[in-house]
Chain A
Amino acid sequence: MDSDRWKQVDSLLQSALERPPEERDAFLRNACGGDEALEREVRSLVRSQQQAGSFLENAAIEVAARALARDQSKDLQATSDSPIGQTISHYRVIGKLGAGGMGVVYEAEDIRLKRRVALKFLPDNLAHDPRALQRFKREAHAASSLNHPSICTIYEVEEQDGQPVIVMELLEGESLKERIRKGPVPADELLELGIQTYDALAAAHAKGIIHRDIKPANIFMVSPGRVKILDFGLAKAIPSYRPEIESEEESLTLEGVIPGTTAYMSPEQVRGEEIDARSDLFSLGVVLYEAATGRRPFVGKNHVLIMNAVLNEKPITPSRVNPELSAALDTIIVKALEKDREQRYQHASEIRADLQRLRLGTDSGRATAIAIPVAATGFRKRWKLVVPAGVAVLALSVGSYFYLHRTPRLTDKDTIVLADFTNATSDPVFDGTLREGMAVQLEQSPFLSIVPDQQIQQTLQMMGQKPDAKLTPEVARELCQRLGSGAVLDGSIAQIGSQYLLTLKAVNCVSGESLASTEAQASDKNHVLDALGKTASEIRNKLGESLSTVQKLDTPLDQATTPSLGALKAFSSGRKVLLTTGEAASIPFYKRAIELDPNFALAYAWLGVASTSIGEPSIAAGYTRKAYELRDRTSEPEKYFISAVFHKEVTGNIEKAEQSCQVWIQAYPRSWIPHSYLSGAIYPVIGQYEKAVEEAREAVRLKPDNPVLYAFLMFNYTSLNRLDEAKAAYGQALARKLYSSYYPPALYQTAFLQNDAAGMAQQVARSAGQPGVEDELLGLEAETAAYSGRLREAREFSRRAMDSAERAEEKEPAATYSALSALREAFFGNAEEARHGATLATGRSAGRDVQYGAALAFAYVGDDRRARTLADDLGKRFPEDTLVQFNYLPTLRAKLAVRRENASEAIENLRAAAPYELGQTTSSTYGWTALYPVFVRGEAYLAAHQGNEAAAEFQKILDHRGIVLTSPIGALAHLGVARAYLLQGDKDKAKVAYQDFLTLWKDADPDIPILKQAKAENAKLP
């Protein structure tokens, strides 16, 4: 064949391949114009092309190596004893780090990722026991699923000559054991250590992994204030290891030479019983004790005596050993060391929370209030001083690990900028779609962190670009440099015949160095998303993520999003519009997406979010419910997100919502979103403001440039009456030049609490004319006016707030202002106005909180029937809702009981609300339902003629100004206190309280019924 003829063949072959298979026949017949030989040749090549499949698709060296492997597999010889100098998989062994009961550990270089790792080999005597091997592999695999900053990462489990080899993070620093040798660990460092390690245990326990061998040698201090736990679960894998085999390098203590590990066993471990997670909590308690005091709680001259001490002796209180320790820490450690595990902390998160509280310095006595129970006698059964063989499930420590600083591809602190895919096909369906798909895929990685679009937009604007500018590789690289990101990911798609080629490349945006690249082919358009998923998984691994998380957290793209390219296209357009235009504009795109794929869970989830934002809570609930039903069709992080939102917004089950966030945090410790959700939407509802502050701080730490997080800090600090810290949080936001529409209401509230009229006016002025913000400030002004009895003014502000909300097309807020007006009138004794407002509110919205407000107003003015109807309806609609069941309904029923003059029933009703009574609705930026249960309880006690109890309730309201804020019950509580004292016959105190109320209401409208009553009551006093 000559070269012209060949060119003809080649060109016809390509043209044929570019056509759909069913058209090729006709095309060739036509194009060959009767040249049968030509036609046969091209046809033969087309056939061959179809059959070739993955022919030549694997690199030659691999093919050759496989062949060689088959040739040599028979005479495989075991390698020499020491692996130093050998290469195992892609790890070159450099030197030995240590040895112990758990095996031998070597330092090695990961040639592929150019980083140092530690390799752990099984001890020789176990290496030939198939059952031990199985167990070891299983445990190592389980442990490799743990991804937590305080757990030494297991990258993968390799095999060398049939022996498992654990490849793990190489750690630098010293073990806690070495650290303790230098003396007790200072208190702040100790708390940090305790918090991090208990946090790590919480993460492991949540996955059902128990460490079983917590001891100082297994805890590494990698840098000041950062610790890591080693060897999760491995103790179980090597059950034949017992303390007798401890090496002689164990520590010298005051008592002389004593064996190590026994001292950290839990009583149940010593007894050889089945152990659970609580055993780890005990062992870590022993470690904390030792770190705090420099000596161990349970000592003895030999194993048996130590075991006896673990079982029967009560340790000396830590602060008696080290007088610098606080009583609060004593309490925590003593509780951790309870012999009866039922008496101990039950979950790692509990003790972590106590330690955290201690660190925050806000320990208001909860920890100290825990009584130190007398040692449980139940377990003082006759313990025979004989330890059955094989009882002690222990393992030896490994020496030191040293981490030599080498730069891996990326670290888990780097972020990544995703560029738009270069679309070399003529098909616009890929524009935007592939980047969105890639983002979903990569967000599953707990290791990689993608720069969010919002931040990209802001940076684009700083670069003088339009916020929706195309992210070409050049633009993306500049973005990446400005944001200090680790890498930019460039992708491309090209069409070759009916096939598609996708490429993906990670580039260091400072040096331009290529960090990793990958490509995949799709046989046709329907397989493009598959191919995209493949490139994503591959790049995750190549960039340094542990293989176990890549495999575990890698829902295929068509399952994580949608198998429909068109639906994904519509969805990604929606996401884009959301950023440039707003939530409302994104809705039609999402709707289009679910039209094309009615099972597109993520699209429902975002429809839910968008509908909430535009004030359509009931429509939003429908979408969120649908997303929740389809949640298995999303990726891991989306699943957590959907579950948390579903429980919070649809069922209202706060406990479940909190749990969703907690598991989310465990799986994705780098994600700020669950922390943000906990601090902004979950903990405030149940009145746990300290936890909310903690979460907000954690969220800020992870995501310091998100303005909303500072608002959450401000709100929660304010709720705790910690106004200086609230202001400091605002200062932090200012320093970062951040702004959020939450700031004006938050600042208004702190100004209100400090009687700073100018400060309040400033925030009102700042938000005037801003749709969606203005109405909130007007609402606050209305409440403020009502707080000092200026009712006409309050009505005027409420009217303006409603107008403003309606102008901004925000239905729910408008209805909320009606409900608030109604309640205010009800409290003040204006039945007619209250009824009118409540009717208006329920007409505007069937939302949960509005309905409650209206119902309470009806209950106050004696419209029992309507109050009860609304209450019953709430109960039916929200059977799982924490706020409804434990706050709203008890309050409503109690109020109705008070009206029926059945005070004791009312008090009984309100018992259920006690744990939640400091909680508030978060449907607006001020928690307007807060402390109503307390107010009604105060009224019930008044009705029951229990003055002392009534005074205590009203006083509680006065003591929680940060939560009550501008609510009129804050003013009326003074009157409540006055009446309570009067009931007790304490006329002096009553007089003072009446004066407080009347002073507060000195400018009040004179015709308010409750004011007239108060004046009359006061006048009767001598």
Chain B
Amino acid sequence: MERATLPDGEAQNPPCGEVSGLLRAWSDGDRAALDQLTPIVYDELRRLASHYMRRERPGHSLQATALVNEAYMRLVDYKGMQWQNRAHFFAVSAQLMRRILVDHARRHNLKRGGGVQHVSLEDEETAMVGGDRAADLVALDDAMDALARLDPRKVQVVEMRFFGGLSVEEAAEVLKVSPVTVMRDWSTAKAWLYRELAGGTTDGL
């Protein structure tokens, strides 16, 4: 199999197959692959960021969602991949995203308020409550590690949905459980992590 390399200079939309190959290499333990993957994700990140800078239309979910989906589509070649199975691929790319984004956040010292909490227009009530208590990606990463000690599958669900951008259906396929189970895991994990990040107490258990 051909080993793909990135072009010099600015990473310019590498073909999906290339990313796919790097991902596979990374999951097989090739740490150098991560060094090559990171700029690709950063590039995407910058591209998205510049989009937000140009048009801040909060709550306009149609655009934003399409954009993010597209980011994933560009990064990972859902269709053309020749992995042992889709599930494996999804799992690996979700881990990768978590790894890279959290590293990026650590390095850029993303401050509170710059992070996880995005309140859509439908949730005005939450905005009132949630407001300043928003947490960043680094804190989320830590909280996820804590939850993983209790219930690793729930963390996997969060990894896939939040970091990997997978739908409920896709996450269910990866984890070989029903979508309903994924939704249950998701709601418990969200409740737990939210409490953790919002500084809530665990009422002494």
CB-CB under 8 A for A69 and B53, given A48-B195, A424-B180? yes
| Contact, CB under 8 Å: B47 / A44 | no
Whether B187 lies near A496 (C-beta < 8 A) is yes
A161 to B73 Cα, complex, angstroms = 25
Query: Inside 8 A of A58's CB, which chain B residues have their CB?
Result: 64, 68, 118, 120
Cβ contact of B54, chosen from A44, A112, A162, cutoff 8 A: A162
Complex: chain A residue closest to B181, CB-CB: A496
Contact B114 A538 (CB under 8 A): no
Judged by a CB distance under 8 angstroms, whether B177 is at the interface is no
Q: Is the CB of A519 within 8 A of B167?
A: yes
Contacts of A161 in B (CB 8 A): 54
Name the residue of chain A whose CB is nearest to the CB of B183: A496
The answer to whether the Cβ of A1019 comes within 8 Å of any Cβ in the partner chain is no
State in angstroms the CA–CA spacing of A513 and B80 once bound together: 10
Per-residue 0/1 for A4-31: is the Cβ within 8 Å of any B Cβ (1 yes, 0 no)? Answer: 0110011001100100000000000000
Chain A residue at smallest Cβ distance from B179: A494
Which B residues touch A90, using CB under 8 A?
Answer: 66-67, 70
Residues from chain B with Cβ under 8 Å of A492 in the complex: 169
Judged by a CB distance under 8 angstroms, whether A599 is at the interface is no
B167:A68 contact, CB within 8 angstroms: no
Would you call A56 and B162 a contact (CB within 8 A)?
Answer: yes
- A1's closest neighbor in chain B, by CB? B205
Are A64 and B203 in contact, CB atoms less than 8 angstroms apart? no
With contacts A52-B190, A53-B125, A67-B115 taken as known, whether A112 is within 8 angstroms of B70 at the C-beta atoms is: yes
CB distance from B190 to the nearest CB of A (A): 5
B25 → A minimal CB distance (Å): 21
Contact A52 B72 (CB under 8 A): no
Assess the A65–B74 pair: CB atoms within 8 A. no
**Complex CA–CA separation, A46 to B127 (angstroms):** 18
Q: How far is the CB of A539 from chain B (nearest CB, A)?
A: 11
Q: Is the CB of A44 within 8 A of B188?
A: no
Q: Which single residue of chain B is at the shortest CB-CB distance from A56? A: B162
Q: Is B24 engaged at the interface, CB distance under 8 Å to the other chain?
A: no
B37 within 8 A of A: no
Neighbouring A residues of B116 by C-beta, 8 Å: 55-56, 63
Point out the residues of chain B lying under 8 angstroms from A76, CB to CB. Answer: 53
Q: Tell whether, in the assembled complex, residue A501 and residue B179 are in contact, meaning their CB atoms are under 8 Å apart.
A: yes
Residue B129 is within 8 A (CB to CB) of chain A in the complex = yes
Q: Is the pair B98, A60 in contact by a Cβ cutoff of 8 Å?
A: yes
Contact A40 B204 (CB under 8 A): yes
CB of B205 within 8 A of CB of A5, answer yes
Measured between alpha carbons, how far is A837 from B77 in the docked complex, in Å?
77
Tell me the complex Cα distance, A44–B196, Å: 11
Tell whether, in the assembled complex, residue B187 and residue A49 are in contact, meaning their CB atoms are under 8 Å apart.
yes
Query: Within 8 Å CB of A89, what residues of B?
Result: 51, 54, 67
Choice from A10, A49, A112, A537 contacting B62 with Cβ under 8 Å: A537
Question: In the complex, are the beta carbons of A44 and B201 less than 8 A apart?
Answer: yes
Q: Which residues does chain A contribute within 8 Å of B84, judged by CB atoms? A: none
Contact, CB under 8 Å: A54 / B119:
yes
In the complex, chain A residues whose CB is within 8 Å of the CB of B78: 514
Residues of B within 8 A of A125 (CB): none
Task: Decide: B55 and A66 in contact? CB cutoff 8 A.
Answer: no
Interface set, chain A 342-380, CB cutoff 8 A to B: none
Q: Given A56-B162, A159-B54, A517-B167, verify A68-B193 contact (CB < 8 Å).
A: no
Report how far A668 CA is from B44 CA in the complex, Å: 38
| Known contacts A1-B205, A54-B118, A541-B62; is-contact A48 B198 (Cβ 8 Å) | yes
Mark interface residues in A90-116 (1 if CB within 8 Å of B CB, else 0): 101000000000000000000110000
Please state if B68 and A44 are interface contacts (CB–CB under 8 Å). Answer: no
A542: Cβ under 8 A from any B Cβ: yes
Closest to B13 in A: A92
A residues 507-533 in Cβ contact with B at 8 Å: 513-514, 517-519
Point out which of A51, A64, A503, A538 has the most chain B C-beta atoms below 10 A from its C-beta. Answer: A64
Contact A503/B12 with A45-B192, A55-B194 known, Cβ cut-off 8 Å: no
- CB < 8 Å neighbour of A64 from B12, B137, B180, B188: B137
Task: Establish whether residues B97 and A68, one from each chain, have CB atoms under 8 Å apart when the complex forms.
Answer: no
User: Are A56 and B190 in touch, CB under 8 angstroms?
Assistant: yes
Cβ of A87 < 8 Å from any Cβ of B? yes
A458 an interface residue at 8 Å Cβ cutoff?
no
B200–A44 CB distance below 8 A = yes
> B151 near A10 (CB under 8 angstroms)?
yes
The complex places the Cα of A44 from the Cα of B203 at a distance, in Å, of: 8
Closest to B189 in A: A56
Residues on A with beta carbons closer than 8 Å to the beta carbon of B119: 53-54
Query: 0/1 per residue, B51-64, Cβ < 8 Å to A?
Result: 11111100000111
Q: How far is the CA of A495 from the CA of B183 in the complex (A)?
A: 9
Chain A CB within 8 A of B8 CB = no
Expressed in whole angstroms, the minimum distance between the Cβ of A919 and any Cβ of chain B is 48
**Which bracket fits the contact residues of B?**
35 or more
Contacts A6-B150, A44-B200, A519-B168; is A65 near B45 (CB within 8 Å)? yes
Q: Is the pair B126, A60 in contact by a Cβ cutoff of 8 Å?
A: no
- Which chain A residues border B101 with CB–CB below 8 Å? 60-61, 64
Shortest Cβ gap from A374 to chain B (Å): 57
Q: Say how far A488's CB is from chain B's closest CB, in angstroms.
A: 16
Report the Cα distance A160→B54, complex, angstroms.
Answer: 7
Asked whether any CB of chain A lies closer than 8 Å to the CB of B85, the reply is no
Contact A59 B49 (CB under 8 A): no
Q: Is the CB of B49 within 8 A of A66?
A: yes
Distance in Å from the Cβ of A158 to the closest Cβ of chain B?
Answer: 8
Closest to B127 in A: A53
Cross-chain contact A55 with B73 (CB below 8 angstroms): no
A389 sits at the interface (CB 8 A): no
Least CB distance from A38 to B in Å reads 8
The reply to whether B158 and A56 contact each other, CB–CB distance below 8 Å, is yes
Please, what's the 1-or-0 string for B129-171, where 1 marks a CB less than 8 Å from any CB in chain A?
1100000110000000000001100000010011101011100
- State how many angstroms separate the Cβ of A421 from the closest Cβ of chain B: 14
Is the beta-carbon distance between B198 and A41 smaller than 8 angstroms?
A: no
Contact of A63 among B115, B188, B192 (CB under 8 A): B115
Contact between chains at A40 and B203 (CB < 8 Å):
yes
Is A57's CB within 8 Å of the partner chain B? Answer: yes
Cα–Cα, bound, A161→B162 (Å): 30
* A843 at the B interface (CB under 8 A): no
For residue B81, CB closer than 8 A to chain A, the reply is no
* Chain A residues positioned under 8 Å from B62 (CB to CB): 537-538, 541, 547, 550-551
Contact of B163 among A60, A505, A519 (CB under 8 A): A60
Q: Are A45 and B188 in contact (CB under 8 A)?
A: yes
Q: Is B31 an interface residue (CB 8 A)?
A: no
Residue A497, interface by CB 8 Å: yes
User: B56 contacts which chain A residues (CB < 8 A)?
Assistant: 69
Residues on the B chain within 8 Å of A3, using CB: 150-151
Residues in B whose Cβ lies below 8 Å from that of A497? 184, 187
* Contact between chains at A59 and B194 (CB < 8 Å): no
- Cβ B168 vs Cβ A61 within 8 A: no
- A86 and B101 alpha carbons, distance in the complex (Å): 23
Q: Are A56 and B115 in contact (CB under 8 A)?
A: no
- List the A residue with the shortest CB-CB distance to B67: A90
Chain B residues contacting A13 (CB-CB under 8 Å) are: 188, 191
**Residue contact A59 to B188, C-beta cutoff 8 Å:** no
**Neighbouring B residues of A598 by C-beta, 8 Å:** none
Residue of A nearest to B111 (CB): A67
Q: Is B110 an interface residue (CB 8 A)?
A: yes
Question: How far is it, in angstroms, between the C-alpha of A54 and the C-alpha of B136 when the chains are bound?
Answer: 15
Within 8 Å by CB of B198, from A45, A51, A542, lies: A51
- The reply to whether the CB of A581 lies closer than 8 angstroms to some CB of chain B is no
What would 27 A/B residue contacts be, using CB atoms closer than 8 Å? A10-B151, A13-B188, A44-B202, A49-B187, A52-B190, A52-B191, A53-B119, A55-B190, A55-B194, A59-B163, A59-B165, A60-B97, A63-B116, A65-B48, A67-B105, A68-B45, A68-B48, A68-B49, A71-B114, A72-B53, A73-B53, A111-B70, A497-B187, A501-B179, A501-B183, A519-B167, A538-B66
Question: Known pairs A40-B204, A45-B188, A112-B69. 9 more at Cβ < 8 A?
Answer: A3-B151, A37-B205, A41-B203, A49-B191, A53-B127, A61-B41, A67-B108, A111-B13, A547-B62
List 7 tightest A-B contacts by C-beta distance, closest first.
A53-B126, A65-B48, A67-B114, A49-B191, A69-B52, A496-B183, A40-B203
